[in-house]
Amino acid sequence: MLRYIKALKNPKAFFKRYHSIFIITAVLFWIKTYLVYLTQFKLGVEGFYQHFLLFINPVSSTLLIISFVYLFKKKGQYRMLFLVDLISSIWLFANVMYYRFFSDFITIPTIMSAQENSGSSVLELLRVTDILMFIDPIVILIVIVKKAAPLYVNNHLAAFRRTLIAAICVFLINLGLAEIDRPQLLTRTFDRNYLVKYLGVYNFSIYDAIQSTKSMTQRAMAGSDDLVAVDNYIKANYVKPNPDYFGKAQGKNVILISLESLQNFVIDYKIGNQEVTPFLNSLAHDGTTFYFDNFFHQTGQGKTSDAEFMMDTALFPMAQGSVYVNKAQNTEQALSGILKYQGYNSAVFHGNYKTFWNRNEMYRSMGYDKFFDAAYYDMTDENKKNYGMKDIPFFKESVPIMKKLEQPFFAKMITLSNHYPFGMDQQDTTFPVGDFGDKVVNQYFQSANYLDTSLKLFFDDLKASGLYENSIIVMYGDHYGISENYNDAMAKVLNKEEITPFDTAQLQRTVFMVHAPGVTGGPNHTYCGEVDVRPTILHLLGIDTKDYLELGSDILSPEHQGIVPFRNASFVTPQYTYTGEIFYDNATGLEAETPVDADKLIETVKEKLNASDQIVTKDLLRFYTPPNFTPIDRNDYQYLKPTKVDLDYYKSP
């Protein structure tokens, strides 16, 4: 390599080197890709470290592409060099064009549904500068025609091995550095933007192909016979609705609000003499709101997306990865689809862009009519925090849009402000930070207070809009906010000497409230989890769930079991907490003697998780259509960039 660098001092000498054309191609391809990242995609790159990762991530894919050229002999090498570089450039160009229209990257499923995703005319998306994306194949073609450099190497297999090894090594280094900034990048895969930002568009395409192949294989191997045992198990464990509550909210709008990272310990908690969540506290004690104080999140690696999935489907998330990312093409019988048959319109409100957690694809399978993402909001710097829009302006700008929806509607709203690391802009709060020896934990209370304030203002706006009286408002904490890494500070928060495994399990409680004007509720101590929300809501609306394949059950029903499985097969019941293969007594928090029904409890949890996994991994719902349900055709749903006419309409009072 040094001799090539030295040869650069004499361009004629450099071009006489056997690998010169390959080096020139690699460098041009690398720099071109990096410049496209900077100018054509909005990847949210922040700070030197992320810019450095963005700069180096094309290297491994560039070396990989070049390595396969060396598999060919003599003239085949320069022909293949031109061909693979041209194809790679076309692929980059195609992603740019696709991104201009959809703000997303091409995936295997989008290729398979290319006709449905065609959108507007390609000519309208073209730019004069797009020709620069083909500068390297043009250079190769000129060199070939002019014979300006040696066009092949003789020791091609050795060159292939060296280049391939270099590509793998660079990729592993790139991945290692990316994991430092974004842990579990390949298993959680928050967003395709993240994968491209950290690993590059070509490595993302390889990853997507692997994931799509895996998913398609699981699906292809399944048949309707796989559904029989699952169907029998679910129908045998059906929980009837409580007649005292069934249909009490019939015909009302449903507003489902995801409360980012809001754990239940904040309810009635004070910093100094100030309540952290005064508005939610008032709801919890007003005697009319259903307040479930033994509600646990059940998310896995998909976190917020897992919570959404459970709310919509009453199925468990995957043990690894996210359904939203890995199984977005599945047949779904989601809450939005069930309500659609009852005459409801559906919409999602989210102050981030539609690709985050692959929502723009997953919502198509669920049949959401509208998706109001960041493109519909004023995403100014003062309005943004963490992963998108601050909650107060988010709710404020959502109400005028919500008023335009035809009633009855089902609206899902996803808040963002109360997200790790919970730091607040000074102008947004006067609430004091905590004093527990850790910055993150201290800031959590400020952030939670801001979320609480935003909810109060939202309720006020709903009342002013006329929507309040005819709406059932469901609020849930999607997952924990403070992890086990902060146990020392959390011990001080809870006034304990230490946080034990039992305490950690108990801290998985998140806020869950159902507020329905005209329906009497009150505190409820039933043990329940996120998979139980859908059947509870549907029964309140007067829709029986006996024909749907779901693993949750109506929390208000006397038949509700109160066994809350976690994704790792741990669980809680009203009497016991089972974690780390140890039973704890809920009354004392101490290790308990093994219950006489321990094997039955463990087996029940495994059966529930296994039944859900069978449905999700094998896409079994495609073999079953419940009565009174119209199957969703995902090709009927597209979430395109709003036009000026759209924005003027939805933002007007």
Q: Which of 151, 170, 153, 157 is CA-nearest to residue 64?
A: 170
Residue 74, sorted as left (phi over 0), alpha (psi -120 to 50) or beta, turns out to be: left
DSSP string, 88-107: HHHHHHHHHHHHHHHSS---
Distance of alpha carbon 531 from its chain centroid, rounded? Answer: 17
The full length of the chain comes to 653
Alpha-carbon torsion angle 150, 152, 156, 162, nearest 10: 60
Return d(Cα 198, Cα 185) in angstroms, integer. Answer: 9
Return d(Cα 352, Cα 281) in angstroms, integer. Answer: 28
The helix or strand, by DSSP H or E, that contains position 528, with its residue range, turns out to be: strand 528-529
Q: Which of 392, 413, 393 is CA-nearest to residue 402?
A: 413
Q: Which residues of 460-487 are buried (b: 16+ CB within 10 A; e: fewer)?
A: ebbeeeebbeebbbbbbbbbbbbeeebb
Return d(Cα 293, Cα 513) in angstroms, integer. Answer: 9
Confirm if 472 and 255 have CB atoms less than 8 A apart.
yes
Distance of alpha carbon 114 from its chain centroid, rounded? Answer: 23
Contacts of 30 (CB under 8 A, 6+ apart): 58, 59, 62
Pair of tokens at residue 225: 């016979």
Return d(Cα 143, Cα 69) in angstroms, integer. Answer: 16
Return d(Cα 396, Cα 376) in angstroms, integer. Answer: 12
Confirm if 34 and 54 have CB atoms less than 8 A apart.
yes
Backbone angles phi, psi at 379, to 5 degrees: -85, 55
Q: Which residues are catalytic?
A: 304
Greatest alpha-carbon span in the chain: 89
